[in-house]
Structure 1
Amino acid sequence: MIFDMIRGIIAAQTSREAHTITMDSKIKQDLGVDSLQIFEIVMELEDTFQLEIPTEDLDEITHVSDLVGYIESRRRNNE
């Protein structure tokens, strides 16, 4: 569920077909996400999941799976 939501956000921001985005996709290298798109993706994720993603946390997020794990962890900690 979270993966599908994240994949949809990334697809919308990158004009990619959602089915081409996998958990193993590298956000910058495989998906070609630039710094402006990352900013827009993060803003959308913050709105969608009602959380704040500090810029320094983005350094450790390289794959879509990292992003999914990060969101899941933050949501669990906020419950």
Structure 2
Amino acid sequence: MSRQEIEEKVREFLIEDLEIDEDKIKDDAKLKDDMGIDSLDFVDIVVIVEKKFGFKIKPEEMQNVITLKDFCDYIEKKLG
């Protein structure tokens, strides 16, 4: 899967499933501070990522994931 496809899928579920305003979805946007993603949203994200990308997120691997770019980098690395 290409980086562009990853970014499109992530963008799609952020808008459709988590109802995040499209204007807030930028590479350098912080997931918690800028996009308002809270711990309950992260539970949904774990389920969505497993369904759309086919792997489970390990919480300890998400410690350094701050921005949307970090999140897409993480997915790209896992799909490696």
TM-score by length of 2: 0.84
- Pairing 1:25–2:29 present: yes
Gaps of at least 5 residues in structure 1 are: none
**Partner Cα separation in structure 2 for residue 69 and residue 23 of structure 1:** 10
1:73 to 46, 68, 77: 77
- Pairing 1:4–2:5 present: no
What is the CA RMSD across the aligned residues, in angstroms?
1.4
Percent identity among equivalent residues? Answer: 28
Gaps of at least 5 residues in structure 2 are: none
The structure whose residues are more often helix, as a share, is: 1
**Partner Cα separation in structure 1 for residue 12 and residue 74 of structure 2:** 17
TM-score by length of 1: 0.85
Aligned length: 76
